[in-house]
Amino acid sequence: MKEQQKKKQAKRKASKRSKPNSKIDSEFLDLGIEPPKIYRESQKRITQAQEKKSRQSSDLYSMTRLERRQKESNKRKKKNKARKVMGWIGAVLIIIAIGTVLCLTVFFQINTISASGSKIYSSDKILSQCIIQKGKNLFTVNTDEAALRIEENLPYVYKAEIKRKLPDAIEIKVTDAKVAYSLLCEDNTYILLDNNFKVLEKGAQMATGIIINKTDVKSAKPGRKIQFKNSDVGTCLERMANCIKENNFTEITSIYSKNISDNYVVYDNRITFKLGNSKDLDTKITKGLAACDKLNSSSPNATGTMTVSTQFTLQRNSCQVNNFTENVTIVGICAYLTNKIKFDCKTLSKSLRIIQKKYCNLVTILLQYHM
């Protein structure tokens, strides 16, 4: 009896609710149970959406005929405007595509290639090494690769610039390389190099520029950068070369390197600067040149070796000539010079005092004279 009463109460509750929205609702009601909460919420949202749609439909029908026509006309205008914009964009893209195809196939075909600027190579010689050919498209050729090929195949070409000239011309402008270094080989011939250590010529009989001594070469192919057996030596030589170039040390006549901490430059083919490592090269060479300038005023033909250092040291040198000893204490660089000129005791003593007085707190110069 109790179960029948519960079923009747459930049916009465269900009858009070609105009609079922779906077949599932009716099934729940037939069973005399209430649908789950999550299902009821989803059904509620669906019902609200349907009601909104019906209201919009009723609003549309409630509009006057003129308003409906105006609204539909506005929609059509927007659609037509969008179609026109898309049409214009499509037309522009088609024109660009056609123009690109024509430029790459029909227009801008290379008809003229010229070369100028070299006093070493003729125009025909330069053009013979150019990989750009007539008939190719002006904008598709690789000018950088063509310039590099000319620089490698023609060693005395320092730089090749290739420019496009509309509508159908290629211009090659060449800058000639200059010999900056001559590397002395074991057979007493020279390998000529430019300031970037590019090999210009092998087997030269005469040296030009700064001489590089006592260096083993791994590879020296004309048109390519020279390679040394000891890479550290090559690095040191390049640093010294760059320092000389940047500071315009025209008095330097030779350079060489034994290892990373044993580097040398030669001043006026007479005085060797022992630089040590490759740090602070410009400071070391500048101090050495300053010392040589002062020395030249009194001994223009002096020869020997000068040890140059950037560290501040206190040095004592004993120069004995006929039982004479003179101590020189100066700060800065320590230079050892061997002078072939003969001095007597008074001259040597006077020279050392002048040096000590003038260079005190500036440079250290220790002179060792040979009688």
Q: Model confidence over 18-76: pLDDT tens digits?
A: 445 555 555 555 555 655 555 566 666 777 777 766 666 655 555 566 777 777 888 88
Answer whether residue 252 shows pLDDT above 90: yes
N-term to C-term CA, the chain: 145
Q: 272 or 332, which is more confident? A: 272
* CA–CA dist 172, 151 (Å, integer): 12
Largest Cα separation within the chain, whole Å, is: 148
- Under the banding of pLDDT at 50, 70 and 90, the label for residue 207 is very high
What is the predicted pLDDT for the residue at 86? Answer: 87
- Under the banding of pLDDT at 50, 70 and 90, the label for residue 297 is confident
> What is the rounded average pLDDT for all residues in the chain?
75
| Closest C-alpha among 184, 212, 196, 185 to residue 151 | 196
Average pLDDT of span 325-350: 37
* CA–CA dist 342, 117 (Å, integer): 55
CATH superfamily ID and name for 112-176: membrane protein fhac (3.10.20.310)
Q: 202 or 342, which is more confident? A: 202
Look up residue 148 and give its two tokens.
């590099």
* pLDDT cut 90: percent of the chain above it: 35
- Say which amino acid occupies 282: D
Q: Model confidence over 213-231: pLDDT tens digits?
A: 988 999 999 999 999 999 9
Phi-psi region of 125 (alpha: psi -120 to 50; beta: other; left: phi over 0): alpha
Q: Model confidence over 132-179: pLDDT tens digits?
A: 988 888 888 999 999 999 999 999 999 999 999 988 899 999 999 999
Kindly report the three-state secondary structure assignment for every residue of the chain: CHHHHHHHHHHHHHHHCCCCCCHHHHHHHHCCCCCCHHHHHHHHHHHHHHHHHHHHHHHHHHCCHHHHHHHHHHHHHHHHHHHHHHHHHHHHHHHHHHHHHHHHHCCCECCEEEEECCCCCCHHHHHHCCCCCCCCECCCCCHHHHHHHHHHHCCCEEEEEEEEECCCEEEEEEEECCCCEEEECCCCCEEEECCCCEEEEEEECCCCCEEECCCCEEECCCCCECEECCHHHHHHHHHHHHHHHHHCCCCEEEEEEEECCEEEEEECCCEEEEEECCCCHHHHHHHHHHHHHHHHHHCCCCCEEEECCCCCCCCCCCCCECCECCCCCCCCCEEEEEECCCCCHHHHHHHHHHHHHHHCCCCEEEEEECC
Read off φ and ψ for residue 64, nearest 5 degrees. -75, 165
| Closest C-alpha among 248, 249, 266 to residue 257 | 266
